[in-house]
């Protein structure tokens, strides 16, 4: 395979994305054992570039992860960032808003969690919940959520203009695969804590969620802040795909080590 399959996962701005046409069990031409070995190499590269990004100290990188339950936001984060310096990575998991979050607009808590200069920020769920679950479950009327695509595009544009690279990933899991994973959560005592009865309510609304995801991705995949649709039925494909998306993004940013202070090169430390 000569063409990098990652390119084909990117949703072009203005595209008429059809999620149903994207296989959730695709292998992207990869094979399991070599993909796992390649993930280790990709992680090492990410670690090197993360260190440079931190040293450069002038730009941030935000990775947004969105998915249906059990598609693997948590597992992806664990797989990609184990081995990357935790001091430079900030993960934020967005839950149902509570406390002061409910007293502000929906972007308030999100903006506060955006990575600082030199940081990689990962959003495990995000402001997109406010045009996904909030839309599907009718927590606010259409007159309210429908305006949010424009807010989100403007917000992400602001981040990019001010030095934060934004990349967004939808982990695309199949309905059958989700059933198996949710069943495993019910059956396995180590995983049971992750299961909420409400997950089944969301599952029952599957077609509406897919439609909402499709619409949100279409309307917010911009050149400045693109979406990628990653097949997520196989964890090893998902992990390598997201790791490569992150690596490519870092390579494009091409962070530079700061120049040394004058007179340092060649100094002998006594
Ligand atoms: P989990 O990520 O599985 O721990 O679950 C977090 C839950 O919080 C999910 O059911 C999300 O849909 C929900 N959630 C996150 N953000 C929002 C939001 N802005 N409004 C409503 N529900 C949300
Ligand atoms: Mg959950």
Whole-number Å distance between alpha carbons of 135 and 144: 9
Is residue 184 pLDDT above 70, yes or no?
yes
Contact 20, 210 (CB under 8 A): yes
Whole-number Å distance between alpha carbons of 73 and 144: 27
Ligand 1, atom 22, lies closest to the CA of 96
pLDDT single digits (tens) 90-140: 999 999 999 999 999 999 999 999 999 999 999 999 999 999 999 999 999
Instruction: Assign 3 a pLDDT band (cuts: 50, 70, 90).
Output: low
Ligand 1, atom 8, lies closest to the CA of 95
Average pLDDT over residues 226-249: 98
Give the ligand 1 atom nearest the CA of 202.
10
Is residue 2 pLDDT above 60, yes or no?
no
Whole-number Å distance between alpha carbons of 216 and 227: 10
Residues, the chain: 270
- Give the containing element (helix H, strand E) for 124: strand 120-124
Facing residues of 63 across strands? 122, 167
| Ligand 2 midpoint to CA 70 (Å) | 7
Identify the burial level of 203 via C-beta atoms within 10 angstroms of its C-beta, where 0-12 means exposed, 13-18 middle and 19 or more buried.
middle
Mean of the per-residue pLDDT values of the chain: 97
Is residue 1 pLDDT above 90, yes or no?
no
DSSP assignment, residue 261? P
Is residue 76 pLDDT above 80, yes or no?
yes
Whole-number Å distance between alpha carbons of 48 and 250: 10
* Helix, strand or coil, per DSSP, at residue 137: coil
Residue 4: predicted pLDDT: 82
Is residue 11 pLDDT above 90, yes or no?
yes
pTM above 0.95, yes or no: yes
Contact 233, 180 (CB under 8 A): no
Residue 162: predicted pLDDT: 98
Whole-number Å distance between alpha carbons of 26 and 231: 6
Average pLDDT over residues 226-248: 98
Give residue ranges with CB within 6 A of ligand 1.
69, 94-97, 125, 129-130, 133-134
pLDDT single digits (tens) 139-182: 999 999 999 999 999 999 999 999 999 999 999 999 999 999 99
236-to-31, 243, 267 alpha-carbon distances in Å: 9, 11, 47
Give the ligand 1 atom nearest the CA of 198.
10
Contact 250, 63 (CB under 8 A): no
Whole-number Å distance between alpha carbons of 117 and 178: 37
Average pLDDT over residues 71-75: 97
Is residue 50 pLDDT above 90, yes or no?
yes
Give the ligand 1 atom nearest the CA of 130.
19
Pinpoint the alpha helices (H) of 57-174: 73-81, 108-112, 133-136, 142-145, 148-161
Q: Which of 247, 233, 249, 228 is nearest to 83 (CA)?
A: 247
Average pLDDT over residues 9-14: 97
Q: Which domains does the chain have, with CATH numbers?
A: 5-253 (3.40.50.300)
* Cα 46 to chain centroid, rounded: 15
Ligand 1 pocket, mutate which of 69, 92, 125, 139 (most atoms under 8 A from CB):
125
Average pLDDT over residues 47-73: 98
| Ligand 1 midpoint to CA 93 (Å) | 9
Number of Cβ within 10 Å of residue 238's Cβ equals 25
| Ligand 1 midpoint to CA 202 (Å) | 11
């Amino acid at each position: 395979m000569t063409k990098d399959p990652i390119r084909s996962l990117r949703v072009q701005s203005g595209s008429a994305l059809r999620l149903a046409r994207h296989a959730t069990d695709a292998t992207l031409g990869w094979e399991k054992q070599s993909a796992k070995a390649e993930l280790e190499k990709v992680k090492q590269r990410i670690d090197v570039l993360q260190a440079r990004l931190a040293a450069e100290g002038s730009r941030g990188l935000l990775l947004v992860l969105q998915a249906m339950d059990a598609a693997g936001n948590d597992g992806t984060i664990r797989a990609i960032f184990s081995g990357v310096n935790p001091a430079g990575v900030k993960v934020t998991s967005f839950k149902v808003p509570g406390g002061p979050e409910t007293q502000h607009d929906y972007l308030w808590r999100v903006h506060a969690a955006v990575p600082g200069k030199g940081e990689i920020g990962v959003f495990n769920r995000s402001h997109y919940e406010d045009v996904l679950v909030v839309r599907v479950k009718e927590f606010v009327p259409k007159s309210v959520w429908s305006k949010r695509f424009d807010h989100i595009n403007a917000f992400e544009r602001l981040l990019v203009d001010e030095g934060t690279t934004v990349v967004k990933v939808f982990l695309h899991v199949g309905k059958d695969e989700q059933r198996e994973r949710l069943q495993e959560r019910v059956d396995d005592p180590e995983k049971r804590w992750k299961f909420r009865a409400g997950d089944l309510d969301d599952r029952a609304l599957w077609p509406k969620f897919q439609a909402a995801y499709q619409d949100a991705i279409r309307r917010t995949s911009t050149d400045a802040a693109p979406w990628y649709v990653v097949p997520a039925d196989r964890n090893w494909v998902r992990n390598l795909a997201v790791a490569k998306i992150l690596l490519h993004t870092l390579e494009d940013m091409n962070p530079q080590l700061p120049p040394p202070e004058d007179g340092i090169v060649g100094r002998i430390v006594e």
